[in-house]
Structure 1
Amino acid sequence: MKELRCLVFTEQEVVRAVLDRRRRVKDVLPVGTVSKLVYHRNEGPEHEGIETRLTITDDNGAATELVLADTEVTAALVGYCMGRRIPLPVASDKMLHLINGALTLMITMNFNKAPRLVVTTGAAEGAGAADRLSPKRRIGR
């Protein structure tokens, strides 16, 4: 069994996420204002995924285009979600898709994995709720 979650981002959120991530990792950013955002779906055998292109226009009107791979944009969007305390599962597949022209982060979790083994350390069989409390809270009981 699998669970699928989709987070759909506005263009402003994508731009903010990418620029914040680039500043955080100290990548060089062109000076100017983002004037255009375009997504390209790559379907070739070598480069699958979504390519994001940011056009940045400076004060003189010169345009610079940043071409971003889907891995960078995915990392930026995950960081954006973490910064806004949106819970994301760590053990999941995260991929970008275009849905109705909007960039969407699809998160897939696989529930067919083996369950984690929980080991109890010598707890007495008749122990009540007091054994589950921290040692400081047990003192008063």
Structure 2
Amino acid sequence: MRELRCLVFTEQEVVKAILDRRRRVNEPLPTGTVDKVTYEDGDNVETKLAITHDDGTRETLTLPETEVAAALVAHCMNRRIPLPVASDKMLYIINGALTLMITMNFNKSPRLVVTHAATVEGAGGSSGPELRPAPRRRRIGG
């Protein structure tokens, strides 16, 4: 079984995430104002920032998918949005908006839950606690 989550970002969130990441890792920041954000979808998603400098000149800054994905993950972590560590994270463009798709795989073996009663009962005379699965709980109500 797999689970898929999609986080859709506004242009302002994308720009803020990129600038915050570049500031944090001491990479050069663009000077001027970001006028427009565009995305190119090919083998990878490229993010292009159209920047107007204070003197009126224009520049386009092209960012690779890995940098933007790292910036968006850090942006989510700073806002305490839970992201699973053991998941695949990919960028897509959906309806013109940059989307971070998170895919989790649930084909892992279930964890064994140890009850407190099992550790107390198994402590007398044995080499270690006896491990038993916790009893199933019944769901009450609708």
Pick the TM interval, shorter chain: 0.7 to 0.9
Alpha-carbon distance between aligned partners in 2 of 1:126 and 1:64, rounded to the nearest angstrom: 70
> After superposition, what is the alpha-carbon deviation per residue over 1:56-103, rounded to whole angstroms, capped at 9, x for unaligned?
111111112111111110000000000011111011000000100000
Q: TM-score, normalised on structure 1?
A: 0.79
Alpha-carbon RMSD across the aligned residues, in angstroms, is 2.1
Consecutive unaligned residues of structure 2, counting only runs of 5 or more, are 124-142
Identity %: 69
Alpha-carbon distance between aligned partners in 2 of 1:117 and 1:70, rounded to the nearest angstrom: 39
Alpha-carbon distance between aligned partners in 2 of 1:56 and 1:106, rounded to the nearest angstrom: 27
Question: SS of the residue aligned with 1:31?
Answer: coil
Cross-structure match for 1:2: 2
Alpha-carbon distance between aligned partners in 2 of 1:10 and 1:117, rounded to the nearest angstrom: 41
Cross-structure match for 1:98: 93
Q: Which runs of 4+ in 1 moved over 2 A?
A: 113-120
Alpha-carbon distance between aligned partners in 2 of 1:81 and 1:68, rounded to the nearest angstrom: 19
Consecutive unaligned residues of structure 1, counting only runs of 5 or more, are 43-47, 128-141
Cross-structure match for 1:36: 36
Q: TM-score, normalised on structure 2?
A: 0.78
Alpha-carbon distance between aligned partners in 2 of 1:33 and 1:118, rounded to the nearest angstrom: 54
Question: SS of the residue aligned with 1:123?
Answer: helix
One-letter code aligned to 1:123: T
Q: 1:125 aligns with which of 114, 121, 138?
A: 121
Count of matched residue positions in the alignment of Structure 1 and Structure 2: 121
